[in-house]
Amino acid sequence: MTVEGDAIDTLRQWVRESRTITVLSGAGISTESGIPDFRSPTGIWADERLMDAMSKWYLEEQPEDFWTKYKYAFLGDNLLQAEPNGAHLALAWLEEQGKRVQIYTQNIDGLHQKAGNKHVYEMHGSVRKAHCPICNRSYGLAHIMAEEVPHCTAYDVKGTDCHYILHPDAVLFGQEVRYFQEAAFSMMESDLVLIVGSSLTVYPVADLPKFAQQGRAKVALVNLDETDFDGLAGLVIHGKAGEVLPALL
Burial of 238 (0-12, 13-18, 19+ CB in 10 A): middle
User: Is the peptide bond preceding residue 41 cis, with omega within 30 degrees of 0?
Assistant: no
Residues 156 and 184: beta-carbon distance below 8 Å: no
- Please tell me whether 162 is known to bind a ligand: yes
C-alpha radius of gyration, the chain, whole number? 19
Please give the span between the terminal C-alpha atoms of the chain, in angstroms, as a whole number: 19
135 marked among binding-site residues: yes
Per DSSP, 247 falls in state G
- Asked about 143 being catalytic, the answer comes back as no
- Which member of 88, 112, 124, 167 is catalytic? 124
DSSP 97-149: TT-EEEEEES--S-HHHHHT-S-EEETT--TTEEE-TTT--EEEHHHHHHSSS
Is 167 annotated as a binding-site member?
A: no
Binding residues for Zn(2+): 132, 135, 152, 162
Binding residues: 132, 135, 152, 162
Query: Which active-site residues does the annotation give?
Result: 124
